[in-house]
Structure 1
Amino acid sequence: MIWKFIRERLSWILLILGLQLLLVFIAMIDRAIPLMPILYIVFLSMLLFAVFLILRYSKETRFYQSLAAWDDTYDLSAVAPPGSPFEEITLDMISAQTDKHRKEASAHVARLEEEKDDLMSWIHEVKTPLTAMRLMIDRLEEGTLKSQLRYEWLRIHLLLDRQLHQMRIAFIENDRYIERTELEPVVHKEIKELQAWCLQKGIGFDLSLTVKEALTDAKWLGFILRQLLSNAVKYSQASDIVVDSGSQEGQTWLRIRDFGRGIDPKDMPRIFEKGFTSTAAHQDHAATGMGLYLAKKAADSLSIRIEAESRPGAGSVFTLYFPQSNDFVSTQGM
């Protein structure tokens, strides 16, 4: 701030220095004017001018220092009161712009909330005919048509479910309930949801849940597993998907291993980024790049660590590491 103050007042400083040098120059060329008294006067003048600058620095920069330290909120109470007419103009303009942006932000938030409510209402309304479709499909005789209709129904169901949780995930802190959760019912429920798809592709599951419980939220854990299992089924052919659990140094883990096409090593650092789809199959228009992103976001809110391993052609492994009791208390502030 000192150098900025000097740059701001540089023209005035140069003017004073120039006047003092002009006075000395006149005394040197005009012998009628004694030089030493003039030098003494110049010295005292420059000394007083230096003291003046020091005093003015504190007064003139107080307002701008508080403005530089101002956070990104709309509260201007932390800004020092203006000490000059120009500072008053600056503060008035900032206040006017702040009020304008506050009103615009409020309008945008209200509109987004309205759109979110409309979308949530639409999703819930769509679920009714979707349930009716499922009942009609179940009445059909077994065959290729029924299998295809079940698969397409499941795709719509998963897309709607993902969209619904995407809307809710911003408020997951208000929706989660952490408790000792039985893993087997949650895993079985999600596998059953994918049954029609698995039958169509000839995919089975090998379950070995050594550890039965984990500290988590059952509903959001189901959502995370839904994304991981649907990806495993989507990118696998006829094979078994292995789901097992265990404990490592007192920490519970749940692992999902598939033997599908795997993930390219160059894609691994980006698989949890929003909207990222595989560079190896970039022409896959069915991929949205949202499943793993939402799973990671929900896992972070539950203090679950997700680790991924994969080799092209050898499948992928996703491991969920659940928090221990003390870890969850420290990370969530409970």
Structure 2
Amino acid sequence: MAESVKEGRDKKTEDIRKTGFWFLAFTYAKGKWRLFCAVLVLAFVFWFVFYLGGVPPESYGYAYLLAVFFLLLFLGWDFIRYRKKHMELLDIYDRINVELKGLPKADSLLESDYQAVLGRLYACNKEVISLEDARKKDMTDYYTLWAHQIKTPITALNLLIQAQEGGGKAELSQQLIKIERYVEMVLQYLRMENMSSDLRLREVKVKKLVNAAVKKDRTIFIHRKISLNLQDMENTVLTDEKWLVFVIEQILSNSLKYTDTGGSISVYMLEGEENTLVIEDNGMGIKEEDLPRIFENGFTGYNGRMEKKSTGIGLYLCRQILDKLGHSISVSSVPGRGTKVMIDMSRREYVEI
């Protein structure tokens, strides 16, 4: 929503700047139509009076020429002021999110009133934004504290499970891994808004990233007998290790979620594309009509609704994070045959969200 508003505002500003002299002249003349009408009426009245008084046309014609000359001088001077004020207002339009200063001097009481209304609206808007920022900060602080505090009982549960004997140990471990992943998702969701201040870009081997992501899911791979095929990944990429590992974890989690017991997941570099990592499974796949929307916040799709396993946040987070890292992600899938996720880790222009 915020992006569409910003794009619309930028487009409008660009369109206004493209208008040029003739558009400004037209809008100026349009705003002065009452003055032009008054001048024509007065010219007619004077002509009628002179005509009735028997004044020769040569006498008042010269007066008309002088009047038109000085009127054109006045209109030229007034148009220059009009254009200058227009450009000053455009400059304020460009920076109105930051400050509202430097408004052109009002030429009338009505302009002063409009500026007072605008100033009041700007002050109210700043107050609303400040209150909203404070509310968001309180919420972020609370959930961050919650996410950190809940790690203590999770660690305790993990120790209890490891000490337990019996057939349900593996299943309990899997469920605990899911809880840990959801807690991590909450933390990353909260951090994402200020992600740029947390980025630490450096050269890192793709193999190291993948191994770190796979490590968390090893229990699930073993328990569900899902084979993991890791191919040669000695490539080095410039990225933020922590954030990219989180993305790979989310994609692996989705693959495990929708791959049946005994299935397989392959992780490899795309042939001919040294910076594109592929995570491919032979799970249930994604319906064609769902593919365009899988990166939307809260979208679960057919599989998520049927299996009741999806939060609709994971892939949304992946897309947002990769955009900020300057990477990209794409997905292809065939229902009943599997899904292929491709992460292009080559650096492109940073995208502000």
TM range (shorter): 0.7 to 0.9
Alignment map for 1:77-226 (pairs within 5 Å)? 77-143=101-167, 145-211=168-234, 213-226=236-249
Distance 1:241 1:49, change over 3 A: same
Distance 1:285 1:51, change over 3 A: farther
Kindly provide the amino acid, as one letter, of the partner of residue 137 in structure 2.
E
Is the 1:59–1:83 contact (alpha carbons within 8 Å) kept by the matching residues of 2? no
**Residue 10 (1) aligns with residue 6 (2):** no
Q: Displacement, 1:213?
A: 3.7
Is the 1:74–1:98 contact (alpha carbons within 8 Å) kept by the matching residues of 2? no
Kindly provide the amino acid, as one letter, of the partner of residue 88 in structure 2.
S
**Residue 65 (1) aligns with residue 87 (2):** yes
SS at match of 2:275: strand
* CA distance in structure 1 between the aligned counterparts of 2:231 and 2:124, rounded to whole angstroms: 59
Distance 1:60 1:188, change over 3 A: closer
* CA distance in structure 2 between the aligned counterparts of 1:31 and 1:92, rounded to whole angstroms: 51
Distance 1:142 1:198, change over 3 A: farther
Alignment map for 1:6-45 (pairs within 5 Å)? 6-28=29-51, 30=52, 32-45=54-67
* CA distance in structure 1 between the aligned counterparts of 2:340 and 2:287, rounded to whole angstroms: 13
The TM-score with structure 2 as length reference comes to: 0.80
Kindly provide the amino acid, as one letter, of the partner of residue 161 in structure 1.
E
Q: Which residue of structure 2 aligns with residue 48 of structure 1?
A: 70
Distance 1:210 1:32, change over 3 A: closer
- Which is further off, 9-18 or 150-159? 150-159
Is the 1:74–1:102 contact (alpha carbons within 8 Å) kept by the matching residues of 2? no
> Where in structure 2 are there 5+ consecutive unaligned residues?
1-23
SS at match of 2:282: coil
Distance 1:36 1:266, change over 3 A: farther
- Which is further off, 278-287 or 49-58? 278-287
In the TM superposition, what whole-angstrom CA distance separates every residue of 1:26-70 from its partner, at most 9, and x where no partner exists?
555x36343443344334323322322221222245334312332
Q: Displacement, 1:252?
A: 2.9
Distance 1:281 1:224, change over 3 A: closer
* CA distance in structure 2 between the aligned counterparts of 1:304 and 1:31, rounded to whole angstroms: 85
Q: Displacement, 1:166?
A: 1.0
SS at match of 2:189: helix
Is the 1:181–1:213 contact (alpha carbons within 8 Å) kept by the matching residues of 2? yes
The CA RMSD over aligned residues, in Å, is: 2.8
Aligned sequence identity (%):
25
Distance 1:247 1:303, change over 3 A: farther
Residue from 308, 320, 325 that aligns with 1:297: 320
Q: Displacement, 1:256?
A: 0.7
Is the 1:202–1:237 contact (alpha carbons within 8 Å) kept by the matching residues of 2? no
* CA distance in structure 2 between the aligned counterparts of 1:220 and 1:18, rounded to whole angstroms: 73
* CA distance in structure 2 between the aligned counterparts of 1:48 and 1:54, rounded to whole angstroms: 10
Kindly provide the amino acid, as one letter, of the partner of residue 79 in structure 2.
Y
Distance 1:267 1:37, change over 3 A: farther
> Where in structure 1 are there 5+ consecutive unaligned residues?
none
* CA distance in structure 2 between the aligned counterparts of 1:212 and 1:8, rounded to whole angstroms: 65
Kindly provide the amino acid, as one letter, of the partner of residue 80 in structure 2.
S
Is the 1:299–1:306 contact (alpha carbons within 8 Å) kept by the matching residues of 2? yes
Q: Displacement, 1:164?
A: 0.5
**Residue 312 (1) aligns with residue 335 (2):** yes
- The number of residue pairs the alignment matches comes to 325
Distance 1:284 1:5, change over 3 A: farther
Kindly provide the amino acid, as one letter, of the partner of residue 214 in structure 1.
V
Is the 1:211–1:245 contact (alpha carbons within 8 Å) kept by the matching residues of 2? no
* CA distance in structure 2 between the aligned counterparts of 1:233 and 1:130, rounded to whole angstroms: 22
Distance 1:49 1:91, change over 3 A: same
In the TM superposition, what whole-angstrom CA distance separates every residue of 1:75-98 from its partner, at most 9, and x where no partner exists?
233433444444333333333332
Q: Displacement, 1:280?
A: 6.3
Q: Which residue of structure 2 aligns with residue 234 of structure 1?
A: 257
**Residue 76 (1) aligns with residue 100 (2):** yes
Q: Displacement, 1:211?
A: 2.0
Kindly provide the amino acid, as one letter, of the partner of residue 31 in structure 2.
E
Q: Displacement, 1:230?
A: 0.7
Distance 1:98 1:159, change over 3 A: same
Distance 1:185 1:58, change over 3 A: closer
